[in-house]
Structure 1
Amino acid sequence: MVSQGAEATLAAKPARPNIILCMTDDQGWGDMSCNGLKRIQTPALDAMAANGLRFNRFYAQHPSCSPTRASVMTGRHPYRMGCYWPGMTLRIGEMTVAQAVKQAGYSTAHFGKWHLSGGKPGAGRPLPADEPLGPGKFGFDEWFSVSNWFDLDWTFSHNGKLEKVPGDGSDAIVGEALEFIGKNAKAETPFLAVIWFGSPHVPLQPRAEDLAAAGGSEYYGELIGVDRSMGTLRKGLRDLGIADDTIIWYTSDNGAWEDENAAPDAFGSNGDLHGHKGELWEGGIRVPGLIEWPARIKAPVRTDVVGCSIDIYPTIVDLLDLDVPGQVKPLDGVSLVPLIDGTMQERPRPIGFWHHGGSSLEGGPLAWMENRFKLFRPKPGDYQLYDLIADPNETKDLAAERPDDVARLKAALEAWQESVRRSNDGADYRQAG
């Protein structure tokens, strides 16, 4: 296996590769066989890892759902657009990846959990055609979507038309996505398909046969369904003859919940990482990360280069060599095209993390992550420093030993935080306009 991507054998760039962005709901870093999972096997995800680029350190931009989804859409920290918490919305003024690729002639579609249009919390409701902040308002030609999580025998909205699909929800959205993909493959039209699973989020309702295969674990029963649907997706691309020139980027919206009051692994695993969903410890934000693109990544690559959900948008824009009119700036993400090409040895820019506190945004935890060091501020005035290369489980606080690094990283974090505040106040839209 090639390490770091430095010597991966690469082919010439397809002019306009097809793009599929897959995201699970609450899947922990340890919830793939290739990352050490023993409870079940994930053969489709393992095949992706064996055939593409596998991240040792890929991060969700936020430890919860909607904010991370906003970061995928825009390449920006979600607090720049006021998306602080699950169920909060995108702002109309943002530029999304769907809007960007349409400028290059792409057909676009969203499948599954949207969770960026606000509304009442709870089970996913079908999104009507006139949903004010639905996928259709953000560049998607087609959608087969609901507002939040979904499970068995669910009713989806296909561009506003209600369609109930029997069986597992993961199978349902991938089946619908393959209809869209096949239509565009026949027309030789490049496409962007965003497939956002509702699993393995609670409430956990796997198929009976998946529950049995998972030894009675509802969580891993749902993950079996996700893995099966990913296998269906990959086979569908091969059957259509377009697998080589199609990028599949797979990740999760945050770490697993790992309820300490429940049975072990009842809600997933973050491996040996400290923390869980809802926290800025590694277990809350480090998630599975895979990129498969046979035409460009010709040998398996396992990389220690740091990637993040905010990198998806700028990577796609760079791949397609787009100059996006009205681009809202700043972007927090970086293009990972050099990593795909085997020339990136480390991340060129740090990542800022910010999570809403129990009573206020300003009192919430913050983190500033370089390739090696992570400055973590769990509460105002408390700055901790961790060497994530030597100590990925964050067991030893180095702040007292390395005050110069703390001061340097703190200054950069505060400058970034001020930039996010300006964005949140609307400064970026005035500049873009």
Structure 2
Amino acid sequence: MSNRFLLAWILILSLHNWAAFGSSSQKKQQMPNIILVFVDDLGYGDLGCYGQKLIQTPNIDNMAEQGIRFTDFYASSPVCAPSRCGLMTGEHAGTAWIRHNMNVLPMGQMPIPDEEITIAEILQDNGYKTAAFGKWSLGAPCNSGDPQKQGFDHFFGYYCQCYAHNYFPEVLWKDGDSILLKNETTPVHVNFIDYPLSYATKKVEYSADLIFDEALKFVEDNRDNPFFLYYASALPHSNGEAPVNERFEIPDWGIYADSAWTPVEKGYAAMVTLLDKQMGEINDKLTELGIADNTLVIFTSDNGPTKFAKRFESAGALRGRKRDLYEGGIRVPLVARWPGIIASGETVSKPAAMYDLMPTFAEIINAEIPEECNGEPINAFVKDKRHSQKRYLYWEFYEGDRAPKQAVRKGDWKLLRFNFDSPEKSEPELYNLANDFGEKKNLAKEYPEVVKKLSKIMDEAHKNYQFADVDPK
């Protein structure tokens, strides 16, 4: 780790210490804006700055050149809802309320309970205007998971992550109200949810454009206030209910239209490049408004890629994909930019996770970090080498009737267990990521003492999870 990066985080803390501020109006003006762009199913290798050769992402690559690129950043989970729960609450999957994709009636996924403290609530309580745009996945207006009950002043997009499969829906939701669109759809019944999903037969209004326009408007409207924008784009997630060649829904294939690729590949690449275009527009808007130097912008993904667009090697050299606790399912890109605060061209190689963002944001504004938070401010373990040796990252994954899985990373060692309810029924896998980036050689039998130590961490990290008995209301 370079000294410039350490100085950047030290500067963050000193710059935003409450004692350094004068009047309350001065505090309000100097509080940094935070934009968190959280995309869907984008793989570790999908960006040029992470080695992608075929899909063009010049704006995000430029962000990496002007800021920081994390090489060992991890999602909270290999699927949508629990990944978002870890992000919002700062808890890993051993203690988080939501640990798998559980759909509930009348709409949406298992909600965050009232007592959970979210990133948005911390920022809102400290004078921030807050908004979530895109895919929520953590409840709906009919229950405690409504984003406007969890610290967000405004919401526009999809409450239900399954509805978000369709980019040309008949309806979106804004602050609890349904907004009718001009699209027409065909219902599709699937076995993982109790209400029909859909794909469009008449495509007029593209949700990814509508939602992004609202996000950009929020930035414009709050240029004079400290704000937190959580832009949770559904791009480039597929619509599994659409015909196979139409699953990556986008108005046109743009620069990839004349390529000799399949429709699936063209659609996927066009979606990723659209995300890149939007990132360019966000950073241009901040410059236009004169607030770029007071805005931290972060770009990351909720989990690893799907299996559809194999040409692009979206997981890079990593093993696995979405739904796996191998690196390809949980290691994701993270790029951050903050002109004048974060030094340009830095690469961070220390492991960090999605649930570290809540305490990092709290520390930046000198707010209290909730006791339940498993994450740590990124600056803490970047500065303290001894501290980083104690730190571990932890995951659990549940899906249907399959045996629950666990993974833990401590230093360069990573252990996976594939049936932690009955560990004797499956062989553990141990990898040294420093020497085996692709998790190809299982070292469990060669290093039983490491397996024993990491298994103990797993046992301590896991708290009982009776999701089947949870009342979703």
Maintained 8 Å contact 1:152/1:207: no
Mapped to 2, the partners of 1:347 and 1:32 lie a distance apart of 30
CA contact (8 A) 2:99 2:396 kept: no
Mapped pair 1:270 → 2:270: no
Quickly say closer, same or farther: Cα 1:135–1:357, change in 2 above 3 A: closer
Q: CA–CA distance in 2 between the matches of 1:177 and 1:42?
A: 20
Letter aligned with residue 361 of structure 2: I
Is 1:392 matched with 2:437?
yes
> Which whole-Å CA distance do the structure 2 matches of 1:414 and 1:154 have between them?
46
Looking at structure 1, the residues matched to 112 and 258 of structure 2 have their Cα atoms a distance apart, in angstroms, of 36
TM superposition shift of 1:168: 4.3
CA displacement, residues 137-168 of structure 1 (integer Å, 9 cap, x when unaligned): 10111111212225247743221344449654
Q: 1:353 to 1:300 in 2, by over 3 A?
A: same
> In structure 2, do the counterparts of structure 1 residues 180 and 59 end up closer, same or farther at CA, with 3 Å as the change threshold?
same
1:112 to 111, 131, 134: 134
1:199: Cα distance to partner?
0.9
Aligned residue for 2:340, secondary structure, equals coil
Distance 1:104 1:425, change over 3 A: farther
**1:137 counterpart letter in structure 2:** K
Residues in 1 aligned to 2:461 and 2:237: alpha-carbon distance in whole angstroms: 32
Change beyond 3 A, Cα 1:98–1:280: same
Distance in 1 (CA, whole Å) between partners of 2:284 and 2:274 is 15
Aligned mates of 1:354, 1:158 — CA distance in 2 = 33
Find the counterpart in structure 1 of residue 282 from structure 2.
233
Q: Secondary structure at the match of 1:205?
A: coil
CA distance in 2, matches of 1:370, 1:137: 36
Query: Is the Cα contact below 8 Å between 1:62 and 1:353 reproduced in 2?
Result: yes
Deviation at 1:178, TM superposition (A): 1.8
The question of whether the paired residues in 2 share the 8 Å contact of 1:136 and 1:143 is answered with yes
Q: Is the 8 A contact 1:100 1:317 kept in 2?
A: yes
Partner of 1:77: 92
TM-score of the two chains, using structure 1 as the length reference:
0.85
1:296-339 CA-to-partner distances (Å, cap 9, x unmatched) read 10322101111111111111111111126xx3x33221111347
Are 2:464 and 1:421 equivalent residues in the alignment?
yes
Aligned counterpart, 2:252: 208
In structure 1, which of residues 179, 189, 198 is the aligned counterpart of residue 234 of structure 2? 198
Aligned equivalent of 2:397? 355
Structure 2's unaligned 5+ residue stretches are 17-29, 102-108, 183-203, 240-247
Scaled by the length of structure 2, the TM-score of the pair is 0.78
Q: Distance in 2 between matches of 1:347 and 1:89?
A: 35
- 1:250 match: 299
Q: 2:383 — aligned with what?
A: 343
* Inter-CA distance 17–425: structure 2 relative to 1 (3 Å threshold): farther
1:275 to partner: Cα distance:
0.6
1:151 aligned to which of 151, 159, 167:
167
Q: 98, 105, 115: which is aligned to 1:93?
A: 115
Number of residue pairs aligned between Structure 1 and Structure 2: 401
- Return closer, same or farther for 1:258/1:422 CA change in 2, 3 Å cut-off: closer
Tell me, what secondary structure is at the counterpart of 2:383?
coil
Identity of aligned residues (%): 31
Q: Which residue number corresponds to residue 409 of structure 1? A: 454
Alignment partner for residue 368 of structure 1, among 408, 431, 447?
408
Structure label with greater radius of gyration: 2
Cα distance change of structure 1 residues 7 and 393 upon mapping to structure 2, 3 Å threshold: farther
Q: Deviations over 1:47-95 (max 9, x none)?
A: 1111111011111010000000011100012453441322333222200
Given that 2:94 and 2:461 are in contact with CA atoms closer than 8 Å, whether structure 1 keeps it comes out as: no
Q: Distance in 1 between matches of 2:331 and 2:391?
A: 17
Provide the secondary structure at the position in 1 that maps to 2:113.
Answer: coil
Residue pair 1:74, 1:96 contacting (<8 A) in 2 also:
yes
Pair 154,344 (structure 1): closer, same or farther in 2 beyond 3 Å: farther
**Contact 1:334-1:349 within 8 A present in 2 as well:** no
Given the alignment of the two structures, is residue 137 of structure 1 paired with residue 137 of structure 2, yes or no? Answer: no
| Distance in 2 between residues matched to 1:208 and 1:425, nearest whole Å | 42
What residue number does 1:41 align with? 56
Q: Name the SS for the 2:222 alignment partner.
A: helix
Alpha-carbon separation, structure 2, partners of 1:94 and 1:182: 30
Shift in alpha-carbon separation, 1:5–1:224, aligned structure 2, 3 A: same
